């Protein structure tokens, strides 16, 4: 298996920066950046065999909130959901990690959220100690980690306005555009969205119920803005209309 190879390719294709706090060209689609910027400084995480590859089948838990945090991870294929649970079972998904994304960098002793596989998933695992040492010795690695965390932070803040101030219709529109934007550039045509997660996951990401998600998608379908190729595959027929809805203009 050339998983290690695949991983390296993926990692080194993502942009590094000459200054952590002024990264250029990081806007727009995550994958759009890949082609533009190239590795400039040595990054042991990217180059070395510091990580261990592992796979996780659908709905299996990788780690739970409160568990001692010894590792961070990078998604190779599949998808992982990060979520928090309330005592009574209410769930909020804070992020879907897709191929190329890293997660599990935290300041606390223990994980502050739970990580589960949305579908069958392959990951690379790094021990916290290894990452810490690599960060000390290699500024490029340290910058890479910071950049990843900053990206996650920026995404969380967009998520906040969605949950706090957008209607169900607007959240669905934003969600579809987000998944479209994060879709690997090569895969599918540029208006076809593959959703690795089920309706309950979407609901828990958007702070809605499964029924409301279903109804909102049906409504977009009825108004001709999207077409459902299957439950998990949606063709966006009018991206502009969707953008207008997502920004509250429509």
The site for DNA (CB under 7 A) is made up of 167-169, 198-200, 207-215, 217-218, 228, 230-232
User: Which 3 state secondary structure label does DSSP give 75?
Assistant: strand
CA-based nearest residue to 50, from 145, 130, 144, 138: 130
Q: Is 20 near its own copies (CB under 8 A)?
A: yes
Q: Is 90 near its own copies (CB under 8 A)?
A: yes
The full length of the chain comes to 250
Q: What are phi and psi of 79, to 5 degrees?
A: -160, 145
Q: Which is nearer to DNA, 44 or 208 (CB)?
A: 208
- Cross-strand partners of 73: 103, 125
Q: Which is nearer to DNA, 140 or 245 (CB)?
A: 245
Question: Among 125, 128, 215, 237, which residue interacts with its own copies (rule: CB under 8 A)?
Answer: 128
Q: Is 91 near its own copies (CB under 8 A)?
A: yes
CA-based nearest residue to 73, from 35, 45, 48: 45
- Cross-strand partners of 127: 71
Q: Considering only residues 135 through 164, tell me which ones interact with its own copies, judged by CB under 8 A.
A: 135-136, 139, 142-143, 145-147, 149-154, 156-161, 163-164
Q: Considering only residues 168 through 197, tell me which ones interact with its own copies, judged by CB under 8 A.
A: none
User: Which 3 state secondary structure label does DSSP give 47?
Assistant: helix
DSSP 207-218: TS-HHHHHHHHH
Q: In whole angstroms, what is the distance from residue 222 CA to residue 207 CA?
A: 23
Q: Which is nearer to its own copies, 3 or 149 (CB)?
A: 149
Question: Among 1, 19, 187, 189, which residue interacts with its own copies (rule: CB under 8 A)?
Answer: 19
The secondary structure element, H or E, covering residue 235 is: strand 233-236
Residues that bind its own copies (CB under 8 A): 19-24, 26-27, 69, 72, 84, 86-88, 90-92, 94, 105-109, 112-113, 128-129, 131-132, 135-136, 139, 142-143, 145-147, 149-154, 156-161, 163-166, 204, 206-207, 247-249
């Amino acid at each position: 298996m050339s998983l290690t190879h695949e991983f390296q390719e993926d990692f080194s294709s993502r942009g590094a920066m000459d200054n952590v706090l002024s990264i250029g060209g990081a806007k727009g689609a995550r994958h759009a950046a890949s082609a533009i910027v190239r590795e400039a400084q040595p990054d042991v995480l990217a180059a070395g065999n510091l990580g261990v590859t592992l796979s996780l089948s659908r709905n299996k838990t990788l780690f739970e909130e409160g568990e001692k945090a010894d590792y961070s991870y990078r998604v190779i294929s599949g998808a992982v959901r990060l979520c928090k649970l309330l005592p009574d079972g209410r769930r909020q998904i804070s992020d879907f990690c897709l191929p190329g994304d890293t997660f599990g960098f935290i300041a606390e002793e223990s994980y502050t959220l739970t990580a589960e596989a949305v579908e069958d998933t392959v990951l690379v695992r790094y021990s916290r100690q290894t990452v810490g040492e690599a960060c000390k010795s290699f500024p490029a690695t340290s910058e890479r980690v910071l950049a990843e965390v900053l990206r996650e932070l920026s995404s969380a803040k967009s998520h906040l306005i969605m949950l706090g101030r957008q209607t169900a219709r607007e959240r669905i529109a934003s969600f579809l555009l987000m998944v479209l934007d994060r879709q690997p550039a090569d895969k599918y045509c540029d208006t076809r969205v593959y959703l690795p997660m089920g309706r309950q996951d979407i609901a828990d990401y958007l702070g809605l119920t499964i029924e409301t998600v279903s109804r909102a998608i049906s409504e977009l379908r009825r108004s001709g803005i999207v077409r459902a190729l299957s439950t998990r595959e949606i063709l966006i027929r009018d991206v502009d209309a969707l953008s207008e809805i997502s920004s509250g203009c429509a």
